[in-house]
Amino acid sequence: MSERTKHRWAMAIDLDRCTGCQACVAACHAENNLPLSDPESAAKGRAVHWIRVDRYYEGEFPEVKVKHMPVLCQQCDEAPCEPVCPVYATYQNAEGLNVQVYNRCVGTRYCGNNCPYSVRFFNWFDPVWPEPLQLQHNPDVSIRMGGVMEKCTFCIQRIKRAENDAKDEKRDVADGEIQPACAQSCPAEAMVFGDLNDPESKVSRMAGSGRSTRLLEELGTKPKVFYLQRGA
């Protein structure tokens, strides 16, 4: 399983473009059948947002700054969530995706504790959608049952679709052909998805930019989400 194949999916987020508008958050809800929260569960911290925009205030009025940062699963190469799962429900696949296998998950939630980015979410109950909201469900994405972990998949259903189409047409997946829902929606085009194994891909070039950093890099998690800091 450790053998790397052609692709190594990654994302670059230009924080200078990002406005914190949260279009990505809503797009993710629409694409990935995220369970709905309600006021009580939201107050309990149980709202599921595979991608969120962290905001911090720095300084005091009037010299106060706001920091926005979209945070999603960082798809770490050395993911802390992976070794601790006792049943291999989360693991690194050959394309560098940190996969969550819902039907294997027994719900120890250890991965959630060990994720320094806190991007893993738990299904506390079986999800419910009042009729006919379920008509909107994306048939390409599983409806997760209660008791299992879930998290950003880099829109694996879109990756699979594109790879399958490319295979049918006997060609490679083109750069930019795959866009996760968040990146597709982003009005400022702050998010770029692509293949790190292709040095010419947009994401490779952005990852190599002087502004490129990774979140909590010091932990050695080797995330595959690159943040391009603000500034020239």
Partner 1 sequence: MAAISEPVVANAARAQLWRPLLHTSARYRMVVALLAAVTLWGLFAWGYQLKTGIGVAGIRRPVFWAIYLVNFVFWIGISHAGTLISAILRLTDAGWRKPVTRAAEAITVFALMIGGMFPIIHLGRAWLFYWLFPYPTERLLWPNFRSPLLWDVTAISTYLTGSTIYLFLPLIPDVAALARHTTGWRRRVYRALSVGWTGSDREWHALEFAMKLMAGIILAVAVSVHTVVAWDFSMSIAPMWHSSIFGPYFVAGAIFSGIAALLIAMAVIRRTLHLEAYLTEHHFNNLSKLLLLMSLLWFYFTVAENLTAWYGNEPKEMAVFGARVRGPFAPYFWAMVICNFVVPFVLLGIRRLRTIRTATIASVCVLIGMWLERYLIIVPTLSYGRLAATWGKYAPTWVEISISAATFTTMALLYLIFAKLFPIIAIWEFETEVMEVSSVS
Partner 2 sequence: MDRRNFFKILSTVSAGAAATSCGTKRDALAPLLVPEHEIVPGVEQWHVAVCRECAAGCGVIARVMEGERTVERNGQKFRERVAAIKKLEGNPLDPVSGGRLCARGQAAVQGLYHPDRVRGPLKRTGARGEAKFAPVAWDEAIAGVVDKLKGRASDVLFLTAPEVSARTASIARFVQAIGAPAARTCSLQQPAGLPRYDLARARYVLGVGADFLGTWASPVYYMRQYGEFRQGRPGVRGHFVQADSRMSLTASNADEWVPIQPGSERAFLAAIGAVLRGENPKQEWLDACGVTEKRVRRIAEELKQSEAPLVIAADTEAALYVNGLLGNFNKPGGVFGVYASLGSAPQKGDVRGARVLLVDAGENPAYLAPGSLANVETIISFSPFLDDTAAQADWILPDHHALESDMAIEQPVSPKRSVAVGTAFVKPLYDTRAVEQTLADVAKKMSVAYAPVTPEEFAKPLLAEGESWEDVVRRGGVQADAQAGELKVPQALQVQPVERSPLVLQTYLSTQYYDGRAANLPWMQELPDPASSAMWDLPVEIDPKTASSLQIASGDRVGVESERGAIEVFAYVHPAAIPGVVSMAIGEGHAHFTRYASGRGANPLTVADAEKPMRVKISRIAGARGELAQFSPQDREQGPWGGR
Partner 3 sequence: MFRCLAGLLIVCAAGAMCAEQPVAFPHDKHIKLGLACIDCHIGADLRDRATIPSVQKCMLCHAKLLRNDAEVKKVIGYADKGIEIPWVRVYGFSTDAHVKFRHEPHYRAGIACATCHGDVAKMSVAEPVVKHDMGTCLTCHRQRNGPQDCAACHY
Sign of the CA dihedral running 27, 30, 36, 39: positive
Distance CA 22, CA 52 (A): 7
DSSP track, 107-151: ---HHHHH-TT---EE--S-----TTGGGG--TTSPPPPTT-EE-
Q: Which does 174 bind (CB under 5 to 8 A by kind): partner 3, partner 2, partner 1, none?
A: none
Site for partner 3 (CB under 8 A): which residue of 21, 53, 69, 99?
A: 99
Tokens representing 19 are: 């406005």
**Contacts to partner 2 from residues 174-193, by CB under 8 A:** 181, 184-190
Binding mask 134-173 for partner 2 (x = CB under 8 A): xxxxxx---x-x----------------------------
Residues contacting 69, CB < 8 A, separation 6+: 15, 18, 53, 54, 55, 215, 227
- Tokens 């962290």 belong to residue: 54
Torsion angle, alpha carbons of 133, 138, 144, 146, to 10 = 0
Q: Which does 213 bind (CB under 5 to 8 A by kind): partner 3, partner 1, partner 2, none?
A: none
Q: Report if residue 113 touches partner 3, rule: CB under 8 A.
A: no
Site for partner 2 (CB under 8 A): which residue of 1, 2, 3, 58?
A: 58
Distance CA 216, CA 147 (A): 28
Q: Which stretch binds partner 1 (CB under 8 A): 10-18, 40-48, 133-141, 170-178?
A: 40-48
Q: Which does 58 bind (CB under 5 to 8 A by kind): partner 3, partner 2, partner 1, none?
A: partner 2
Cβ distance to partner 1 smaller for residue 45 or 139: 45
Q: Report if residue 227 touches partner 1, rule: CB under 8 A.
A: no
Q: Which does 160 bind (CB under 5 to 8 A by kind): partner 1, partner 2, partner 3, none?
A: partner 3
Q: Which stretch binds partner 3 (CB under 8 A): 71-79, 94-102, 109-117, 224-232?
A: 94-102
Instruction: List C-alpha distances in Å: 156 to 54, 114, 126, 132.
Output: 24, 23, 22, 26
Total residues contacting partner 2 (rule CB under 8 A)?
59
Q: Report if residue 160 touches partner 3, rule: CB under 8 A.
A: yes
Closest CA to 96 of 13, 7, 164, 160: 7
